[in-house]
Chain A
Amino acid sequence: MANIKISEQKVLQIEAICKEFNNEKGELINVLHKTQSLVGYLPAEVQEIISKNLNCSLAHIYGVVTFYSFFTMIPKGEFPISICMGTACYVRGAEKVLDEFKRILNVPVGQTTPDGKFSLSCLRCVGACGLAPVVMVGEKVYGRVSPDGVKDIIKEYKQA
């Protein structure tokens, strides 16, 4: 049994989400989507609560969580940075942009900076290929990003 670090209130909210989908095992992915947007990520403790409510094994839930790239067991930073690695962005230099983010933030892809401010991830095509290469910080889209422009983007959020 993992230590439940999440608040009593969150537990109730997660249980409510499960109930909203009639505690049905077939709705697992919908439950995970809603829970992730509530908690921010899906740690083992959260998966245990869902496991009890939907009456399915923790192994099954862990299997689903780790299968889909949208679900994460690591908390995202305050400002999640996603670099589009779709083909259009790739051929227009997304890799160099990613290298620059990795260098400045000093974290690998999939990790969060120690101060919890930034997390770095890659995504596959946001569909703004006309603006390639594209970087997203939270919901905001930055188009035609050059390696030189990376530090300015980070600066924008450092002060925030």
Chain B
Amino acid sequence: MTQFKMHLLVCGGTGCRASESEKLFHNLKHEILEKGLENEVQVITTGCFGFCEKGPIVKVMPDNTFYTQVKPEDAIDIIAEHVIKGRQVTRLLYVNPETEQHVSDSKHMGFYRKQLRIALRNCGFIDPENIEEYISRDGYAALAKCLTEMTPAQVIEEMKKSGLRGRGGGGFPTGLKWEITSKSQSDQKYVVCNADEGDPGAFMDRSILEGDPHSVIEAMAICGYCIGASKGIVYIRAEYPLAVERLKIAMKQSVEYGLLGKNIFGTDFGFEIDIRYGAGAFVCGEETALIHSMEGLRGEPTIKPPFPSVSGYLEKPTNVNNVETFANVPVIINKGADWFASIGSEKSKGTKVFALAGKINNVGLIEVPMGTTLRDIIFEIGGGIKDGKKFKAVQTGGPSGGCLTEKHLDIAIDFDSLTAAGSMMGSGGMIVLDEDDCMVSIAKFYLDFTVEESCGKCAPCRIGNKRLNEMLEKICDGKGTMKDLDLLRNLSHVIKDTSLCGLGQTSPNPVLSTMDNFYDEYLAHIVDHKCPSGQCKALLQYVIEAENCVGCTACARNCPVNAIAGERKGVHVIDQASCIKCGACLEKCKFNAVFIK
């Protein structure tokens, strides 16, 4: 094997690929060949580094230099300066926004300092398409240990002791789930990996599958050993082509290395994995709906019990876990349950991956110990609110979750504290909102989503959410009444109490939590007919202040519907009847003459 002196790690996650990281990879390769360095320097594509805001990212090892926002043409400088002359390319280094100093090692960046990577341990470090790199970082050691040194019951005991809880949103203890499925009697059982990440704004499962697919494969095999299943199925979104491709490559390599198939590690245990594609239905994140979808049916949920652990796929006992849950398993076996249980809060052990997005400086994928405060996540790791605006709320748990405000910033987040605060962990989406966001519109946005994604099987979810949405629309249009507020709350509780599955039982959460925390905003829409953040189009008027208008005609020229009249060098006026409230005039005016009333 060639011993390379230097490794260039190029991020190949979907986000960075969208910013031409593939071309960058090829340019780096080309430069290396050109300079005859192919035996000394290796370039590899890795999974997501997490710091998507500053992508594409290139990391140079062994000196740990972390280059951000690298363009394909920067390959020349990286090779000529850094690789050959040993001088860092300063202009590509991350600049600390507070000190304005260049930072070359990611360890010293605010974004990474408070993170602890367990599920994402290999993302950004290894080439996901090369099984040997996974093996060199203790890959498949956990499977070997389980198969050759431990009984299934011992492994389950270890999982229970670790305190790992399901990362897909439910937070059910993983070890307990495995135990229940292991006790079901059947000739055939199934291990299912739920990779149908449907929460808009969450992309942690995809990043794990893109950056470290083997960890999921290894964990599924361990689970199979524990519950007595010889078959695993990954149910993955068809919208994730890159994750599918890397998973397929990883599965093929595992088979070639004898890590999947018959008689793994010379034991009697055999395990194989198959892929099933989702087709875009949020409700399929629910276990029973997911199983129906795998059977080729509409993804509608059914009443539990029977739980899938008793009767699931093809009516056989089935253990469904989420991608991130599986990614934690091999580490727990390797480092021990006590180690894992020492991280996190009292009732939620380990770490959680969050997709941090919205009005925040450092958008990206982060992993922090359970019990980290929202303040640390948003202001330290996230680098605060974009454009110096004021923090308003953070939405966690996606369409099933709620909004948390300033007063919640110091709670130590875990499964239970988030639920107690009126939101939930969910799969880990975390959307930061600033003063410009209208909370009624945000609630409506999530309800739009739920209405579209409701499978329609049970009436409370199908009809109830539609009515909620209509009422919110009425309020956003300035036609709401105080009675609507009572109705909103009552109907929300009815939907929560009577819906069949998790989708309906949680769908009114965005409404309830915004009503609890931002009641005055609802009142402003209804009583004053005003949207305090100026987002609800029907409630605002664009007006030109005569004093400031110099008659430059910029607004009139950019108005898409010709609603602005006025002579050159004369005061302009907006015709409110034809104005579509697109805001183009406000954006174009250089004299602060356009304002929202």
Contact B280 A69 (CB under 8 A): yes
CB of A90 within 8 A of CB of B445, answer yes
A68–B281 alpha-carbon span in the complex (Å): 6
- With A64-B296, A130-B52, A132-B363 known as contacts, the answer to whether A125 contacts B203 (CB < 8 A) is yes
Instruction: Note all chain A residues with C-beta closer than 8 A to B206.
Output: 127
**Contact in complex: A28, B431 (CB < 8 Å):** no
CA distance A7 to B60 in the complex (A): 54
Contact across chains for B15 and A88 when beta carbons are under 8 A apart: no
Q: Which residues of A contact B199 (CB under 8 A)?
A: 125
Rounded to whole Å, the gap between the CB of B445 and the closest CB of chain A is 6
A13-57 to B contact mask, C-beta < 8 Å, 1/0: 000000000001111111011000000000000000000000000
Q: Let me know if B429 and A130 touch, CB within 8 A.
A: no
CB distance from B21 to the nearest CB of A (A): 12
Residues of chain B contacted by A27 (CB below 8 angstroms): 296
CB closest residue in chain A, given B50: A130
- Mark B198-239 against chain A: 1 for CB-CB distance below 8 A, else 0: 111111001100000000000000000000000000000011
The reply to whether B198 and A131 contact each other, CB–CB distance below 8 Å, is: no
Contact A88 B431 (CB under 8 A): yes
Q: A67-B455, A87-B429 are in contact. Are A130 and B279 (CB under 8 A)?
A: no
- Tell whether, in the assembled complex, residue A96 and residue B583 are in contact, meaning their CB atoms are under 8 Å apart: yes
Residues facing A in B551-567 (CB within 8 A) are 560
CA of A132 to CA of B446, assembled, Å: 18
Most buried by B among A27, A67, A141, A147: A67
Asked whether B238 lies within 8 Å of A87 as measured between CB atoms, the reply is: no
Within 8 Å CB of B298, what residues of A? 63-64, 67
User: What count of chain A residues pass the 8 Å CB interface test?
Assistant: 40
By CB atoms of chain A within 10 A, which of B14, B18, B281, B282 has the most?
B18
A64 → chain B closest CB, angstroms: 6
Q: Give the shortest distance, in Å, between A54 (CB) and chain B (any CB).
A: 9
- CB-CB under 8 A for A131 and B582, given A29-B276, A68-B281: no
Indicate if B19 sits at the interface (CB-CB under 8 A): yes
At the interface, yes or no: A6 with Cβ under 8 Å from chain B?
A: no
User: Any chain B CB within 8 A of the CB of A91?
Assistant: yes
The answer to whether A127 and B358 touch across the interface, beta carbons within 8 angstroms, is: no
In the complex, are the beta carbons of A129 and B201 less than 8 A apart?
Answer: yes
**Within the complex, what minimum Cβ distance (angstroms) separates B362 from chain A?**
9
**Given that A32-B279, A68-B299, A70-B239 are known contacts, is A127 also in contact with B582, CB under 8 Å in the complex?**
no
Q: Is the CB of A86 within 8 A of B200?
A: yes
- Which listed residue, A26, A96, A128, touches B18 by the CB 8 Å rule? A128
CA distance A30 to B235 in the complex (A): 12
A29–B201 contact, CB under 8 A? no
Whether the pair A130, B455 counts as a contact (CB closer than 8 A) is no
Contact yes or no, B279 A68, CB < 8 A: yes
Is the beta-carbon distance between A67 and B281 smaller than 8 angstroms?
yes
CB distance from B450 to the nearest CB of A (A): 12
What does the 1/0 interface line of B1-41 toward A look like (CB < 8 Å)? Answer: 00000000000001101110000000000000000000000
Find the A residue at minimum CB distance from B446: A87
Q: Which of chain A's residues have a CB closer than 8 A to the CB of B200?
A: 85-88, 90, 124-125
CB pair B203 A28 closer than 8 Å: no
CB-CB < 8 A to B449: which residues of A?
124
Q: Does B508 contact A (CB under 8 A)?
A: no
Contact of B279 among A24, A29, A86, A123 (CB under 8 A): A29
B window 147-206: CB within 8 A of A: 198-203, 206
Q: Is the CB of B364 closer than 8 A to any CB of chain A? A: yes
Minimal Cβ-Cβ distance residue in A for B560: A103
Contacts of B583 in A (CB 8 A): 96
- Check if B55 sits within 8 Å of A130, measured CB to CB: yes
Are A143 and B357 neighbours in the complex by a CB distance under 8 Å?
Answer: no
Query: Is A29 in contact with B293, judged by CB distance below 8 angstroms?
Result: yes
Question: Does A137 lie at the interface of the complex (its beta carbon under 8 Å from any beta carbon of B)?
Answer: no
Beta-carbon nearest neighbor of B355 in chain A? A129
Q: How far is the CB of A26 from chain B (nearest CB, A)?
A: 5
Bound form: Cα–Cα A4–B102 in Å: 65
Whether the pair B19, A143 counts as a contact (CB closer than 8 A) is: yes
Is B433 an interface position by the 8 A CB rule? yes
| Set of chain A residues within 8 Å of B582, measured between Cβ atoms | 96, 99, 147
Q: Which of B198, B239, B276, B299 has the most CB of A within 10 A?
A: B239
- A63–B457 alpha-carbon span in the complex (Å): 13
Instruction: Decide: A129 and B15 in contact? CB cutoff 8 A.
Output: yes
| Nearest B residue (CB) for A103 | B560
Select from chain B the residue with minimum beta-carbon distance to A30.
Answer: B277
Interface string of A125-160 (1 = CB under 8 A from B): 111111110100000010100010000000000000
| Chain A CB within 8 A of B380 CB | no
For B359, give its contact among A68, A92, A99 (CB under 8 Å). Answer: A92
B445 touches A128 (CB 8 A): no
Q: Mark A46-82, 1 if CB is under 8 A from B, else 0.
A: 0000000000000000011001111100000000000
B159 to chain A, nearest CB (A): 29
Query: Do residues B358 and A64 form an inter-chain contact, with CB atoms below 8 A?
Result: no
B577 within 8 A of A: no
Chain A residues with CB below 8 A from B202, complex form: 125
Which B residues are CB-close (under 8 A) to A127? 14-15, 203, 206-207, 240
- Given A131-B52, A147-B582, 9 new contacts (CB under 8 A): A28-B297, A70-B279, A86-B200, A88-B431, A128-B18, A129-B355, A129-B363, A130-B52, A131-B15
Q: Provide a sorted-by-A list of 15 A–B residue pairs whose CB atoms are within 8 angstroms.
A: A24-B296, A30-B277, A33-B238, A67-B299, A68-B299, A87-B200, A87-B357, A87-B445, A91-B359, A91-B437, A92-B358, A125-B199, A126-B14, A127-B15, A147-B584
Which 10 interchain pairs have the tightest Cβ spacing?
Answer: A130-B52, A127-B203, A68-B279, A88-B357, A28-B296, A141-B18, A86-B200, A69-B280, A87-B201, A70-B280
